[in-house]
Amino acid sequence: SQQGEEDPQALSIQEGENATMNCSYKTSINNLQWYRQNSGRGLVHLILIRSNEREKHSGRLRVTLDTSKKSSSLLITASRAADTASYFCALEGKSSGDKLTFGTGTRLAVRP
Amino acid sequence: DARVTQTPRHKVTEMGQEVTMRCQPILGHNTVFWYRQTMMQGLELLAYFRNRAPLDDSGMPKDRFSAEMPDATLATLKIQPSEPRDSAVYFCASGLVQLPQHFGDGTRLSIL
C-alpha cells in the first residue's frame, strides 16, 4: 500500500511543549507533504519536502525525511492551543503522477 | 485570499435520491481532485482532472458516481442513486502540477 502510516494516532500535550508526529511509508516518492485539518474544515498545506531533501523548516514547523528508512517526522515547537488539529502526511509516489496518498492522521490536542 | 468553494456544505437526503456536489476551483489552477473522507477509510481519492480532462477515476464506484468539469470554473460530483454507505465528507481540491493542493471545506453528506 502507498498509504502513509502515522504514529501516534493521537497526542495530547501542554501548551508550550513540542509535538512530534511520524509518518512511515513503503513506496518510492517524489515528495512528501504535511497537511493540517481543523475540525469541520478542509485540509491546509503546511510543508512539502522533496525526496532529495533531508530537512525543512517553516516557522515553528520542522520536517525531516529519511528515504532510506522511508519515514518522515513533523515537529511543532512551542505548541499553542490553536495547533489543536489533525495532521496528515501525504505521499506523491514516483509512479503516481501528482496524485497524493494520505496517511491515517495524528490527532493533536494542545491543552491551554 | 483565493479559496476553493464547495456547495452545499451539508446535504441530508434519502436513499435512492440523486446528489450533486459542486466545486469552484481557484482561478488559474489546472488540476482538480475529488476526495472522500470517512472515519473508517480516511481520505480517499475518487477522481482527478487536469485542464478539465479526467485523468483518473479509478477510486470511484463507476455504477453510481460520475465526475465532470463542464468548464474551468466548475467541477461536479454526482451520485445516483445514493446509498447510506455514501455518507461521508466529500472534498474538492485544486492545484498546479507538483505543487501543494488547496482544499475546500467539504460537503458533509448524510444518506438516510
Q: Across the interface, do B43 and A102 touch by the CB < 8 Å criterion?
A: yes
A33, A101, A102 member nearest B100 (Cβ)? A33
Domain around B25: 5-111
- The whole-angstrom separation of Cα A23 and Cα A103 is 8
Our count of domains for chain B comes to 1
Please name each of the domains of chain A with its CATH number.
5-111 (2.60.40.10)
Q: What is the DSSP code (8-state) at residue A77?
A: -
pLDDT value for B67: 97
Which residues, 6+ apart, have CB-to-CB distance to B64 below 8 Å?
B79, B80, B81, B82, B83, B86
Question: In angstroms, what separates the C-alpha of B97 from chain A's closest C-alpha?
Answer: 7
Whichever domain contains B92, its CATH number is: 2.60.40.10
Q: How close does chain A come to B105, measured CA to CA in Å?
A: 4
Question: Which cell is B62 given?
Answer: 463507476
How confident is the model at residue A5, as a pLDDT?
Answer: 87
Return the pLDDT at B38: 95
Taking the C-alpha atoms of residue A82 and residue A5, their distance in angstroms, rounded to an integer, is 24
State the greatest distance between any 2 C-alpha atoms of chain A, in Å, as a whole number. 43
- Predicted confidence at residue A1, as pLDDT, reads 46
Query: Could you say which residues of chain B have pLDDT below 70?
Result: none
Per-residue pLDDT of chain A (112 residues; tens, 9 = 90+): 457 888 999 999 999 999 999 999 999 999 999 999 999 999 999 999 999 999 999 999 999 999 999 999 999 999 999 999 999 999 998 887 778 999 989 999 999 9
Q: For residue A36, what is the nearest residue in chain B, using CA coordinates?
A: B103
What is the side-by-side order of every strand in the sheet holding B5-7? B5-7, B19-24, B74-79, B65-71
